[in-house]
Amino acid sequence: MMNVNKEKCIACQLCIKDCPVRDIELVDGKAKVKNINCIKCGHCIAICPKDAVSTDDYNMDEVKEYNKETFDINADNLLNSIKFRRSVRHFKNKEVEIEKLSKIIEAGRFTQTGINSQNVSYVVVKEGIEELKVMGLESLNEAGKGILANLTPETMVYKRYAQIWMNMYESYKKDPTIRDGLFFNAPAIILVVSDSEVNAGLASSNMELMTNALGLGTFFSGFFIKAAQGNKSIMNYLGLDENKKIVTCMVIGYPSVKYSRTVPRKNANILWK
């Protein structure tokens, strides 16, 4: 429930004007949250100039007062950081600290979600990464065999991937220590799970920014997403219900490569009206 401290409230009505579901009204010269349509988005908490609004639903100790020096990001530096980011496929043989993995997840946790559903969850795999790798490679190998056995003009485009997956599996069987094409021998992965691809995608984007800020590198393994689709063994191993969807798989570790510059891109396709 959202609560308003009447002694602090100055009836400025900023919370009333900013509430996206119009669930706040002025009663006897004080703001009052009706808690009928409230989605617990926290706009009223954030905008109140007198810190008069609180909630019983979340930990209010997490609330931080705005500070320009510690909150603002230089726009040019942010853009350069985005341009400089690379998908990392070469990692040092070094463990990633739990504290850093937790901070990456924090970046996802505080990402906006539609109607404040907060329907994104995370699975961190460290100790079981080798076992999960085997399960993923086996799944891709079977998928590859299925594609090659049922090639049609429509599925011919997937032939290349089928061959890649089968080669990955055979290479791993010959030498399990090689740099595989699934997790690239990284020490950790974070799976971002949600029934909303948009919410999970937004969270993953912020998580990648945090990963880079922490001096780590990440690679989004689309191959693992394919391996996990409809695979009960993988979902059971991860402790996920079959109705859950793994939207992204962030392969994370300390990069063993160093990049020196950004790369070019196509011009933006923009329609101004």
8-45 pLDDT tens trace = 999 999 999 999 999 999 999 999 999 999 999 999 99
DSSP string, the chain: -EEE-TTT-----HHHHH-TT--EEEETTEEEE--SS-----HHHHH-TT--EEESSS-GGG-----HHHH---HHHHHHHHHH--B---B-S-PPPHHHHHHHHHHHHTS--GGG---EEEEEESTTHHHHHHHHHHHHHHHHHHHHHT--TTTGGGHHHHHHHHHHHHHHHH-TTS--SSSTT-SEEEEEEES-HHHHHHHHHHHHHHHHHTT-EEEE-HHHHHHHTT-HHHHHHHT--TT--EEEEEEEE-BS----S----PPP-----
| The pLDDT of residue 155 | 86
Q: Do domains 2-62 and 75-129+183-253 have the same CATH topology?
A: no
Mean pLDDT over 122-130 rounds to 97
Q: According to the model, what pLDDT value does residue 242 have? A: 79
- Mean pLDDT within 221-238: 96
Domain coordinates of the chain in residue numbers? Answer: 2-62, 75-129+183-253, 131-174
Provide CATH code, domain 2-62: 3.30.70.20
Q: What percent of the chain has pLDDT over 70?
A: 100
pLDDT in tens, 68-77: 999 999 999 9
Task: Give the model's confidence band at 65: pLDDT under 50 very low, under 70 low, under 90 confident, else very high.
Answer: very high
pLDDT digits (tens, 9 = 90+) for 46-60: 999 999 999 999 999
Whole-number average pLDDT of the chain? 96
Which is the CATH superfamily of the domain at 75-129+183-253? NADH Oxidase (3.40.109.10)
- pLDDT for 34: 97
